[in-house]
Amino acid sequence: MTGEQTLSDTPWLEQGAEPFIKIRGVTKKFGEFTAVDNIDLDIYQGELFCLLGGSGCGKSTLLRMLSGFETPTSGSITIDGMDMSNVPPYERPTNMMFQSYALFPHMTVEKNVAFGLKQDKIPVAEINDRVHDILTLVELQDYKKRKPQQLSGGQKQRVALARALVKQPKLLLLDEPLAALDKKLREQTQFELMNIQEKVGITFVVVTHDQEEAMTLSTRIAVMNDGEFMQLGTPTEIYEFPESRFVADFIGSANMLEGRIVEDGPDHVRVKTDLGEVFIDHGQSVKEGSRVWIAIRPEKMHLSKEPPLKPGPNQAFGMVDDIGYLGDISIYKIRLENNQIIDVTAPNQIRPKSRTHTITWEEKVYLHWQASSAVLLTK
Amino acid sequence: MYGRRSGFLTFMLAAGMAFIYVPMILLVIYSFNYSKIVPVWGGWSLRWYETLFKSEAVWNAVALSLKIAVINATFATILGTLAGLAMVRFGKFKGRTLFGGMLVAPLVMPEVITGLSLLVLFISLKQLFGWPQDRGFTTITIAHITFSLAYVAVIIQSRLSGMGETLEEAALDLGAKPFRVLTDITMPRLAPGMVAGWLLAFTLSLDDLVIASFVTGPGANTLPILIFSRIRLGLRPDINALATIIILVVAIGVAIAAYIMFRQERQQQRDMQIVDREIP
Ligand SMILES: Nc1ncnc2c1ncn2[C@@H]1O[C@H](COP(=O)(O)OP(=O)(O)O)[C@@H](O)[C@H]1O
Ligand SMILES: [Mg+2]
C-alpha cells in the first residue's frame, strides 16, 4: 500500500491524479455478437468500484478481460502503469473471486488458501503465517481442515475471499460475490466486505446485478446495458441525478412524466405535462419545445387529503388505487386524471391504532413535490 | 390392481434373473461333477480343480492375460486421458472434428475389422522393418491398447466437459502456470475417471477373444483363446472349473467396487450433515 501519500476519498475529482486502471476503447466480440462495446474507464487506487447491470449486459466479460481470461477484440487495458495486452492471467497483479467461488473440492480450506502462495515459491513458514492471518480475518480459523463440501454458503464465500486476498493483489475482482447468499446474510456480508476492503486497502472491482448492493458497497458505480456504460458516478449521483430514463428506472423506482419544455431559464426549467406544469429549480440547456421526461422518486412525493392552499406548479391530484403495507413504509398507488399510476411511498412513523391508514382506498388525494425533487431527462 | 401388477413385476424380475444366473449356476455345479462327461452327474468332486491347477498351459494363459491386461490398461489410460484432454481443453484446433470422430471409431467398428486391419498392419510392419518378429504378447498388447484407449478417451471427455473450466481458471488466476494447473487441479479431479477407465480397459482386455485371435501367433494363448480352443473339442469339466474361478474373481471385484461406492456416498452424506447441523 502507498504509505506516504494519504489517499483522497474522491480521487476521480483530483486534478492530474493517475488512474490505477485505464480501460481505453475496449470492445469484446463473440463472433458477431458484441458483449462489451467500446468502453473507456478510469478506476483509482483504493476504490470499491461496482459494475452494475442486468443479466447478460457484459459485466462479467469486462471483469474477465481485467483478469486475463478474455482478450479484448480491440482497445487496451493498463493496470498500475503496465499494459496488460500480452500478460497471461497467472502473471497479472490481480486476483479474482469467482461467481460460484470455484473452491478446489479436493483440497482443505487451508490448502485452498495456500494454493496461490505456493505458486510464488514463498517459504513454508511465511505461507503458514499468512494463511493463518487471513483465516483469522475472515473468522475461519476453526474450519481450516474442512473440505469445501463441508462448509455452508457463507463460509465458502469467505474462503473464496480469503484465497483471493491472501496474495495481496493490487486489484481484487469480484464477480457477483454475494449472489449465492440469502438476503439477511447478504446484507450483513456487504458490510463485512466493506470493512475488509478498508483494512487491506486493495482496489476492488465488483460485478453485481443487485442495485442495493451496488449502492451500499461502492465508491462509484458504472451502470451497464447492452455492453455500454449508461452512467458513471457515485451512488448519490446515480440515484439523485440519473441522466437517462434507463438509469432512473433501473436504480430504485421512478415516476416518469412526459412533457415539453416551455421555459428554459439559467437557473430553472418549466415543463408542461399532462398533469400541469412542473417547475425544476436547476437549469439545463434544452431547446424550448423539445420533448423531455421528468423523473420523480416515490419517496420525494408528498400526499395529503387537503387541497393545496393555492394552485401552482408541482401539484397533481388523483385517487388511491392501491396501498401496499411493507411495515416500515407503505406504497400508495395513485391513479391520476389521465389514468397514469403514480407510486408514492411514505414512512409509517406512527403506529396506527386500528389496521387502517389515515389515507385509504378510493380516497381523493393531492400530491406535491419540491422544485428540487424532479429530474429532467432528455433521453 | 397394484397387487396384481407387482406380482407380475416380481415374476418378470425372477424370470430375468433366472435367465442370467441359471446358466452360471449350472456351470458352477458341473464344475464339481466327478463325471468326465459334462451332462452326466457322477457325484461331487474337486477333481477338475486339481487337473486345472496342475495344467501349465492354463497358468501360462492366465499369466499372459493378466500381463497384457495390466499393461494395456495403464497405457490406454495415459494415452486416452491425453486424447480426452486434447479434445475438450485445447479449444478449437485444426482437424478437431476429424480427430474426435477417429477417436471413437474403434467403439463402433466390428471387432473382426479391427482385428483384421491390425493383423495386416503387423504383417506389413514385419515386411518393412522386420518388427514385430513374431506375433503374440507384443502384438496383442498393442492391439488392445488401440481400442481400449478409445473407451478411456470417451470417459475422460465426458467427465471433462461436465466439469467446466472455472476451477482451472481459478488456479491460473492464483498464479499457477498451465502445467501446474494440469497436475494439481485437472488430474486429481480426473482421477476417478482415470480409475474407471483403467478398470474398463483391464476388463476389455481380459474379455477379448476376437481381436486377440487375429493378432496372436503360435504359442501365445490368452485365457479366452485357451478356453475357446478347448471347448471346440467338446465341453470339458476342467474348463467349467476355470470358469467358476473366473466368476468368483469377478464377483469379488464387483463387491469391492460396490463397497467403495457405498463408502463414498456415506462420506458425502456426512459432509451434508455437518453443514446442515451448523446452519440454524
Ligand atoms: N465465451 C462466450 N462465448 C459466446 N458468448 C459469450 C461468451 N461469454 C459471454 N457471452 C455472451 O456475452 C454476453 C455478456 O455476458 P456476461 O458478461 O457474462 O454477462 P453478465 O453481465 O450477466 O455477467 C451474454 O449475452 C453472453 O451470452
Ligand atoms: Mg455474470
B255 lies in the same domain as B213 = no
- Is A150 in contact with B271 (Cβ distance < 8 A)? yes
Residue where a domain terminates, one of A246, A265, A294: A246
A240 lies in some domain: yes
- Segment B187-229, tens digit of pLDDT: 998 898 899 899 999 999 998 999 999 999 888 899 999 989 8
Closest CA to A180 of A208, A202, A199, A201: A208
A76 lies in the same domain as A190 = yes
Residue where a domain terminates, one of A246, A278, A298: A246
A52 lies in the same domain as A173 = yes
A241 lies in the same domain as A277 = no
B1 lies in some domain: no
Residue where a domain terminates, one of B198, B213, B234: B234
A111 lies in some domain: no
Please identify every stretch of chain B with a pLDDT value under 50, giving residue numbers as ranges.
Answer: 280
B38 lies in the same domain as B155 = no
Region of residue A358 (phi > 0: left; psi between -120 and 50: alpha; otherwise: beta): alpha
Q: Which of A30, A37, A210 to mutate to test the pocket of ligand 1 (most atoms within 8 A of CB)?
A: A30
| A98 lies within 8 A of chain B by CB | yes
A239 lies in the same domain as A290 = no
Q: In this predicted structure, what is the pLDDT of residue B277?
A: 64
Q: In this predicted structure, what is the pLDDT of residue B5?
A: 67
| B173 lies within 8 A of chain A by CB | yes
B39 lies in the same domain as B133 = no
A87 lies in the same domain as A207 = yes
B42 lies in the same domain as B130 = no
A322 lies in the same domain as A197 = no
Q: In this predicted structure, what is the pLDDT of residue B211?
A: 93
A40 lies in some domain: yes
A263 lies in the same domain as A373 = yes
- Ligand 1 pocket residue status of A314, Cβ below 6 Å: no
- Ligand 1 pocket residue status of A69, Cβ below 6 Å: no
Chain B residues within 8 A of A94 when measuring between CB atoms: 173
Q: Which domain holds residue A297?
A: 253-377
A365 lies in the same domain as A280 = yes
DSSP A64-90: HHHHTSS--SEEEEEETTEE-TT--GG
Please identify every stretch of chain A with a pLDDT value under 50, giving residue numbers as ranges.
Answer: 1-5
B94 lies in the same domain as B214 = yes
A186 lies in some domain: yes
The CATH number covering residue A34 comes to 3.40.50.300
- Cα dihedral: A51, A56, A62, A65 (round 10): 150
The CATH number covering residue A335 comes to 2.40.50.140
A294 lies in the same domain as A361 = yes
| Cα of A69 from ligand 1 centre, angstroms | 13
B31 lies in the same domain as B86 = no
Residue where a domain terminates, one of A226, A246, A266: A246
Q: Which domain holds residue B199?
A: 60-234
CA distance B40 to B38: 6
- The Cα of A135 is separated from the nearest Cα of chain B by a number of Å equal to 17
- Segment A204-221, tens digit of pLDDT: 999 999 888 899 889 999
Closest CA to B114 of B139, B137, B146: B146
| B188 lies within 8 A of chain A by CB | yes
B128 lies in some domain: yes
A235 lies in the same domain as A280 = no
B68 lies in some domain: yes
A104 lies in some domain: no
B139 lies in some domain: yes
A162 lies in some domain: no
A277 lies in the same domain as A230 = no
A196 lies in the same domain as A300 = no
Long-range contacts of A189-192 (CB under 8 A, 24+ apart): A189/A154, A189/A157, A190/A216, A190/A217, A191/A216
Residues 6+ apart with CB under 8 A from B239: B227, B230, B231
| B170 lies within 8 A of chain A by CB | yes
In this structure, are residues A36 and A227 in contact, taking their beta carbons and an 8 Å threshold? yes
- Return the residue in B163, B167, B173, B187 with the most chain A beta carbons within 10 A, the one to mutate for interface testing: B173
- Ligand 1 pocket residue status of A56, Cβ below 6 Å: yes
- Ligand 1 pocket residue status of A58, Cβ below 6 Å: yes
Number of domains in chain B: 2
A332 lies in some domain: yes
B119 lies in the same domain as B251 = no
Ligand closest to Cα of A32 equals 1
B67 lies in the same domain as B183 = yes
Q: In this predicted structure, what is the pLDDT of residue A112?
A: 95
B10 lies in some domain: no
B185 lies in the same domain as B225 = yes
B15 lies in some domain: no
CA distance A150 to B136: 52
CA distance B227 to B240: 10
B168 lies in the same domain as B248 = no
- Is A119 in contact with B176 (Cβ distance < 8 A)? yes
Mean pLDDT of chain A: 86
B168 lies in some domain: yes
Number of domains in chain A: 2
The CATH number covering residue B155 comes to 1.10.3720.10
A2 lies in some domain: no
Q: Whose CA is nearest to atom 9 of ligand 1?
A: A61
B241 lies in the same domain as B206 = no
B99 lies in some domain: yes
Chain B residues within 8 A of A96 when measuring between CB atoms: 170, 173
Chain B residues within 8 A of A114 when measuring between CB atoms: none
B75 lies in the same domain as B147 = yes
